[in-house]
Structure 1
Amino acid sequence: MAKKKIKKPWSILIALALAVFIGSIISQDTIIFGISPYRIFDVLGSLFINALTLVVVPLVSSSIITGVARIASESQFGRLGLRTFGYFLLLNFSAILIGFFVASFLTPGSGIQIPSALPPESVQMAETGVFGDLLLEIIPPNILAAFAKGNMLGLIFFSLIFGYAITQISRKSMQTHFQFWKGMFEAMIRITHGIMRFLPLGVFFLAAKIFTATGIETLKPLGNFVWVTLLGFALFSFGFVPLLMIFVAKIPIRNYFRAISPAIITAFSTGSSSATLPIALECMEERGGLSNRICALVIPLGTSLNLSGTALYNSMAVLFVAQVFNIELSIASQFTLVFVTLLISFGVAAVPGGGLVAAMTILRVMGLPLEGLGLILALDRILDLFRTTVNLFSYTTSATLVAKSDGEENLFSKKEYNI
């Protein structure tokens, strides 16, 4: 009889539990047979971070270029597409603000200070960033130098412009460029998948490093982060979304939730936007009464560009890391955080491992310690089911608002829905 493999979410929890156990019996100064366990955890955890960092630039650039090119070349994009993008922007931006204010006021990462291996100048932007410097980074004088230095803002801006530009050249040249970047994107996904196979080990080494330095007291901010994040998800899903549905779309909110209930169950049970897509399309068309023309455009795009749950989570996760490492963000840096998170929400959130890549990208732009990913990784799989469900609420809300603004009537008007 074949042995059953341990599923990754459980293996991550086991890795976290082992890291907690290690942190409870040894400290940062412990020496065993002349070897420092803390140093081993530091080196191996850094190797995992380096492996993830390795794919960030090509993955982000190819993802944005192919995404923008695909949208810009869409024949039916036009005014309907601009309206769609406007609602995507509204929901993503609102989600980021909700996450930002909840994490800022409740400070889940406060109460403990974790030492960072970063030199003080590496967090200079997080502490004293100036918005003018941000603008200079967006448009670098040398794009190759920006790529080499990992200037993510310049990379994102250039990728957006380049993705649109290749749709304005001859069709043959456009196809050549598109296929090249699509191939790059698919190759980077394969590499990312390979790296993610070692996720439990990465979680163990990164978390063990933190717990040996601070002890098990770090568990408290981890627990705080979970419930504060769930609160942010709830405020968006059961506060902001109903407000839009009731006062803008003018539909019965109870009918909306009942109509998409099969998609909610699928999203929460699978944690996959791709697996939820066909169910969401069926729910919105057959049960919600939206036209195929609207659903076929908005919902597939939404699963790539309108992942508000991921955007909300990233804003809270980055603030959590700053709080845990006792780094106070200036007003300019807070604006930078919101702006960068919004940009990233349209870039890499939908790719496999994209949420992790997005969080790493934001941390790099903000100059925050990447070792904070060890804490985020340990909780990522637990919160992923909730995050995927919030993403579903986001793009189905956008589809409803687009349909209503396009003059469609009798949306979600059935008296009974089979759950």
Structure 2
Amino acid sequence: MKNNILLQVFGSIFLAVIAGLVTGPERAIFGVTYLQLFTLIGQLFLNALTLVVVPLVASSIIIGTARLGSEGSFGKLGVKTFGYFIATSLLAIVTGWLLMMAFNPGSLQESPAALVSVAEKARLAALEQQTQGNVFTTIEQILFKIIPSNILAVASQGQMLGLIFFSLLFGFFSAKIEPEAAKIVQGFWRGVFQIMMKMTQMVMKALPIGVFGLVAKVVASTGLDAVKPVSLFFLVVILGLLIHGLMILPLMLRFIGGVNPFLHFRAIAPALLTAFSTSSTAATLPITIDCVEKRAGVSNRICSFTIPLASSVNLSGSALYVCCAVLFSAQVYGIHLSLVTQLLVVFMTLLTSLGVAGIPSASLISVLMILQTLGLPADAIGMILAVERLLDMSRSVVNVFGNTCCAVLVARSEGEATDLIKHFKTSISA
């Protein structure tokens, strides 16, 4: 089914490019331009996806945090594991941020105004002016967003910082109340999460149609001018994933864990190949556990805790991609974000990467969340979707590799002498 969706998405992109080039911005049918029709299709898809964001994110974070709190995972082992999650995700995000600032792929769009309606131009100008405000005022606004006075109003406005903060607290303390009450509360939120998962899966069935509308709108508006910035964006993300996967993580293995990164690559190669072919960290989970335990020599005690948790929380490759996608969207619209606002993007990417990684299309939803919080239009997602599937396969490999590194480093910090060569050779001979 994954391959069918992949073929459908690539087919819709191909058709969208042709349709956009043929119709252009002016051609009409029954008094309505094709550009308006493309815009309607794309916007309906984005609206449907945005519709499920608030309850999906809230329920995902609440049940995840409640589970960790009830299992006592915030102990010594939990602190080490989460410390690794935060460190590697932050390194990945900063890598993507620096590369986006260095190459600035979105600025190659010669006519970003073509994507923006006249009504939006004043709002974008006001937004840019707001992001250039003094540092204290910007930090003050961020803190007010993190700790709002009315969580319902914040949720209805799509301000995710406050929602994430509230959900973390709610989930953690729901594990600290009486067992019977905790069971009822957590059962309710598990039900909400399962319902929203079903709704998200339904929305994602319309992904090829949504991609068609979004891509066709961009091509009809700008012609092939969008090809160059999207191509550079693709290369920047791939470069970032290579730096993180082939430099940062191996260096951590060598100098923090004392493990030969080349042998580790060989040991977990089946998991990496599966991740690339399925573009799914969750689907690779059984093979990842098998490789880490039997081929990399990590104990079952460490492996059974870190790998399942990492597969739903620690997706450093996806975090890098989300940061790049948000900054690219701002660049396409000609919005020059201040340093403080860029740091806010980094912070929000870190929060969303830890909070919503276990849900379907988590990267796309994370990008939408951050764009909503910044007040940026989401139309540029149509450009990104053209290369989304290829990037999805690539970042899944980095996600899985990062998770295996986590298990090894935590095992070494717990005093385990993971004899990688012995275990690897034993596994091969078996």
Q: TM-score by structure 1 length?
A: 0.95
Partner of 1:140: 148
Identity %: 43
In structure 1, what is the equivalent of residue 312 of structure 2? 304
Native 8 Å contact 1:126 1:368 kept in 2: no
Q: What is the CA deviation profile of residues 131-175 of structure 1, one whole-angstrom value per residue up to 9, with x for unaligned ones?
A: 220111111111111122222111111000100010110011111
Give 3-state SS (helix, strand or coil) of 2:359's partner.
coil
Letter of the 2:385 counterpart: L
Cα distance in 2, alignment partners of residues 128 and 106 from structure 1 = 24
The match for 1:285 is: 293
Checking the alignment, whether the CA contact within 8 Å between 1:127 and 1:328 is kept in structure 2 is no
Contact 2:19 2:216 in 1 (8 A): yes
Deviation at 1:295, TM superposition (A): 0.6
| Equivalent position of 2:197 in the other structure | 189
Residue correspondence of structure 1 range 2-401 to structure 2 within 5 A: 7-75=4-72, 77-112=74-109, 113-114=111-112, 115-117=115-117, 118-121=120-123, 124-125=126-127, 128-129=130-131, 130-401=138-409
| d(CA) in 1 for partners of 2:6, 2:122 | 35
Give the CA deviation at 1:124: 4.6
Residue in structure 1 matched with residue 134 of structure 2 by the alignment: none
Q: Could you say if the C-alpha distance between residues 5 and 246 of structure 1 is closer, same or farther in structure 2, counting changes exceeding 3 Å?
A: closer
CA contact (8 A) 1:99 1:315 kept: yes
| CA distance in structure 1 between the partners assigned to 2:329 and 2:155 by the alignment | 25
CA contact (8 A) 1:125 1:333 kept: no
Report SS of the residue matched to 2:387: helix
Deviations 1:229-286 (A, max 9, x none): 1111100000101110111111111110001011111111111112211111111111
CA contact (8 A) 1:273 1:388 kept: yes
Q: State the distance in 2 between where 1:102 and 1:76 align.
A: 35
Structure 1 contact 193–353 (Cα < 8 Å) conserved:
no
Unaligned runs of 5+ in 1: none
Q: Which deviates more, 300-309 or 376-385?
A: 376-385
Q: Deviation per CA, 1:107-146: give whole Å up to 9, x if none.
A: 2222113332435335755653312201111111111111
Counterpart secondary structure, 2:385: helix
Aligned to 2:420: 412
* Distance change >3 Å, CA 67–CA 124, structure 1 → 2: farther
CA distance 1:60–1:120, change in 2 (3 Å): farther
Query: RMSD value over aligned CA atoms?
Result: 1.8
> How many angstroms apart in 2 are the aligned matches of 1:277 and 1:6?
19
Query: So what's the TM-score if we normalise by structure 2?
Result: 0.93
State the 1:13 CA deviation: 1.2
Relative to structure 1, is the Cα distance of residues 125 and 134 closer, same or farther in structure 2, using a 3 angstrom cutoff? Answer: farther
Contact 1:102-1:232 within 8 A present in 2 as well: yes
CA contact (8 A) 1:127 1:329 kept: no
**What amino acid maps onto 2:400 in structure 1?**
L
Aligned residues: 416
Distance 1:127 1:288, change over 3 A: farther
Kindly indicate whether the alpha-carbon contact (under 8 Å) linking 2:41 and 2:209 is maintained by their aligned counterparts in 1.
no
Q: Aligned partners of 1:356 and 1:230: how far apart in 2? A: 17
Measured in 1, the distance between the counterparts of 2:416 and 2:236 equals 38
Q: Is this contact kept in 2: 1:309–1:387, CA < 8 A? A: yes
Q: In the alignment, residue 262 of structure 2 is paired with which amino acid?
A: R
Write the distance in 1 (CA, Å) between the matches of 2:186 and 2:48.
Answer: 26
Tell me how far 1:411 sits from its aligned partner.
3.6
Taking the aligned partners of 2:419 and 2:62, their CA distance within structure 1 comes to: 35
The amino acid of 1:59's aligned partner reads L
Deviation per CA, 1:326-375, whole angstroms, max 9, x where unpaired?
11111111011001000001111221122211111111112221111212
CA distance in 2 between counterparts of 1:213 and 1:122 reads 18
**Unaligned ranges ≥5, structure 2:** 132-137
